[in-house]
C-alpha cells in the first residue's frame, strides 16, 4: 500500500510532467521567421541621396541573414543588389525610373499572386519632391510558410514631402492601401512593411487611423519598444543616443496581425543601425534598415487547405463569418464555376463569385458534412491566368454537387479524419479564379 504522502508526491510529479510536456508540444507547434525592410536608395547616381554605385554590392550578401525582405527604391542597381543573394524567391524588377516602382521582395519562402498598385494620388515633380516621376505605390504577395499557413505581405513607398500637397497625397495613399487590405486580405494574417514617409507624431499623417485602426494592425516597434502605447502628435521622436528605443521613430515601419487560422506575433524589433554600413561605419543607404522576428502558430480548431487556381479577381476568406455548421452547399456553374458558397444553421449565407451560370445546391442533414472537393483549372479564352473550370463536392453521406467543365489539370482536397469543409477562401470576381477550403472539426 502506498502512503497518502507518497501518492500526493506522485500526483504532483505526474502533473508537473504533463504540464511540462504540454508546454513542450505547444512550443514545438510555434515556428519563427524574420523580416527585413530597407529603402536601398537605388535611384541613379546623382539622383540618389546615397552612393548606390558603391554601396549596393556591399548590401547584397547581408540580405541572406533574413527570411523575407522587402526593398524600396530598387531602381538602377537591381543586378548589384541581387548579386550575392541566395534566396530562391525574388520578384522580377519592374524597372528603372521612370518606369519601375522600386519595390521588390526577396524571400526564402514561396509567394504568389503578386500585385503592384500605383497610388491614386502622387504629388511633386522636382518642386515639392519627385513622387510623380515614378509609379510609386504598394506591392502585395501571399506567402505560404508551410502548407495551409498563409500571410499576406505588403510593401510600400508612400508620397514624400512636408507640404500640403504631399500631406494630402500621403493620407490618400494610406487610405488606398487600407481599402485594398480590407478587400483582399479579409480573414488573413497580414504584414505591412515599407517606407511610409509617415510619423505617428505628425498631425497631418493618418497611418494610425488608416492602418492600425481600420485594418486592425499592430506596429512592431510600438508593441515591443513602447509597450503598445502609440506616440501622441507633437514633436518628432529623434533621440539619436539610442535608436532602438521608445524615443526614436523612423518613417520605415513593420505592422502586422494574425488570423483565426494562424496566430502571428512579433518577438523582436530592431533598427539595424550598425550592420548595413561600409568599412568606415557609414550607412549604406539614407535610410536605416528595420527588422523583426515573428512567431506563428496554427490554430487547433480551424485549418486551411492549399489553394488551387489563378491570380485574377479579388481575395476572399470566409473564416471570420463561419459561426456554425453549414446547412446547404451552393454552386453556380455553366462552362466554368461562377460561384461557390454555403448556407449556415444561423440563417446566414456566404456566396463567393458572380451571378452567372445555373445555381444548384444540396441540403445537408444534421450529421452530414462536406468532406471532399475535386477541382479543375484552366485558362479562359483571351485571359492569361487560370480560373476554376470544374468543381465536385462530396459528403460523408454520399451526396455530390458538381458543375463546370473538367480539364486535365486537377486537384483533390479531402478533409482530415474528424474534420469537415466549413467554407472557402481564394480569389473571385465574376467567376471563381482560385479556391481553397476551410476545415472545421466535427463536433464530438
pLDDT at 16: 40
**Based on the number of CB atoms within 10 Å of its own CB, is 8 exposed (0-12), middle (13-18) or buried (19 or more)?**
exposed
Burial of 354: CB neighbours in 10 Å, binned 0-12, 13-18, 19+ = middle
For the whole prediction, is pTM greater than 0.85? yes
Question: Has residue 23 got a pLDDT over 70?
Answer: no
Q: Which domains does the chain have, with CATH numbers?
A: 31-298 (3.60.10.10), 302-441 (2.100.10.30)
Q: 118-127, 165-174, 377-386 — which one is most confidently predicted on average?
A: 165-174
Side-chain-side CA neighbours of residue 122 (13 Å):
20
Give residue-wise pLDDT tens across range 159-196: 999 999 999 999 999 999 999 999 999 999 999 999 99
Task: Name the residue with cell 479579388.
Answer: 314
Q: What is the CA radius of gyration of the chain?
A: 25
**149-157 and 326-333 beta bridge pairing:** unpaired
Q: Give the model confidence (pLDDT) of 396-432 as tens digits.
A: 999 999 999 999 999 999 999 999 999 999 999 999 9
> Which element (helix H / strand E) includes 78?
helix 78-82
Beta strands in 148-261 (DSSP E): 149-157, 189-195, 218-219, 252-257
Distance CA 72, CA 50 (A): 14
Helix ranges (DSSP H) in 30-64 = 52-59
Tens digit of each residue's pLDDT (9 = 90 or more) over 12-22: 333 443 343 33
Nearest CA-CA partner of 45 in 76, 82, 73, 79: 76
Cell of 223: 508593441
Residue 212 has pLDDT above 50, yes or no: yes
Q: How many residues in the chain?
A: 444
Is there a contact between 193 and 152 (Cβ–Cβ < 8 Å)?
Answer: no
What is the spatial distance between Cα 55 and Cα 276, in angstroms, rounded to a whole number? 9
Cα 302 from Cα 319, distance rounded (Å): 9
- Check: CB of residue 266 under 8 Å from CB of residue 256: yes
Amino acid at each position: 500500500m502506498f502512503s497518502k504522502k507518497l501518492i500526493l508526491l506522485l500526483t504532483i510529479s505526474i502533473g508537473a510532467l504533463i504540464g511540462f510536456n504540454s508546454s513542450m508540444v505547444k512550443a514545438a507547434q510555434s515556428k519563427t521567421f524574420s523580416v527585413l525592410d530597407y529603402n536601398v536608395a537605388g535611384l541613379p547616381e546623382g539622383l540618389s541621396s546615397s552612393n548606390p554605385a558603391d554601396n549596393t554590392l556591399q548590401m547584397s550578401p547581408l540580405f541572406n541573414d533574413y527570411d523575407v525582405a522587402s526593398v524600396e527604391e530598387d531602381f538602377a542597381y537591381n543586378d548589384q543588389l541581387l548579386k550575392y543573394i541566395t534566396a530562391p524567391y525574388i520578384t522580377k524588377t519592374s524597372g528603372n525610373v521612370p518606369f519601375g516602382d522600386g519595390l521588390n521582395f526577396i524571400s526564402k519562402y514561396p509567394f504568389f499572386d503578386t500585385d503592384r498598385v500605383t497610388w491614386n494620388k502622387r504629388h511633386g515633380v522636382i518642386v515639392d519632391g519627385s513622387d510623380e516621376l515614378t509609379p510609386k505605390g504598394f506591392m502585395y504577395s501571399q506567402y505560404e510558410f508551410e502548407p495551409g499557413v498563409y500571410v499576406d505581405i505588403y510593401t510600400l513607398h508612400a508620397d514624400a514631402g512636408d507640404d500640403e500637397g504631399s500631406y494630402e497625397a500621403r493620407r490618400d495613399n494610406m487610405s488606398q492601401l487600407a481599402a485594398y487590405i480590407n478587400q483582399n486580405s479579409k480573414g488573413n494574417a497580414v504584414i505591412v512593411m515599407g517606407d511610409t514617409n509617415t510619423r505617428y507624431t505628425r498631425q497631418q499623417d493618418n497611418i494610425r487611423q488608416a492602418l492600425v485602426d481600420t485594418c486592425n494592425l499592430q506596429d512592431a516597434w510600438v508593441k515591443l519598444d513602447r509597450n503598445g502605447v502609440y506616440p501622441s502628435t507633437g514633436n518628432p521622436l529623434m533621440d539619436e543616443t539610442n535608436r532602438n528605443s521608445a524615443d526614436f521613430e523612423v518613417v520605415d515601419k513593420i505592422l502586422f496581425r494574425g488570423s483565426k487560422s494562424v496566430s502571428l506575433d512579433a518577438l523582436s524589433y530592431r533598427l539595424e543601425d550598425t550592420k548595413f554600413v561600409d568599412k568606415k561605419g557609414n550607412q549604406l543607404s539614407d535610410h536605416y534598415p528595420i527588422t523583426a522576428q515573428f512567431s506563428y502558430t496554427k490554430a487547433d480548431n480551424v485549418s486551411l487547405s492549399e489553394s488551387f487556381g489563378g491570380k485574377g479577381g479579388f481575395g476572399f476568406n470566409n473564416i471570420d463569418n463561419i459561426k456554425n455548421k453549414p446547412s446547404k452547399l451552393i454552386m453556380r456553374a455553366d462552362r466554368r464555376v461562377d460561384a461557390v458558397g454555403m448556407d449556415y444553421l444561423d440563417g446566414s449565407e456566404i456566396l463567393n463569385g458572380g451571378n452567372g451560370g445555373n445555381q444548384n445546391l444540396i441540403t445537408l442533414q444534421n450529421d452530414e458534412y462536406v468532406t471532399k472537393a475535386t477541382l479543375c483549372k484552366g485558362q479562359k479564352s483571351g485571359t492569361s491566368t487560370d480560373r476554376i473550370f470544374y468543381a465536385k463536392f462530396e459528403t460523408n453521406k454520399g451526396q455530390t454537387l458538381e458543375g463546370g467543365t473538367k480539364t486535365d489539370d486537377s486537384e483533390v482536397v479531402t478533409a482530415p479524419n474528424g474534420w469537415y469543409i466549413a467554407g472557402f477562401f481564394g480569389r473571385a470576381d465574376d467567376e471563381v479564379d482560385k479556391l481553397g477550403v476551410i476545415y472545421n472539426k466535427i463536433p464530438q
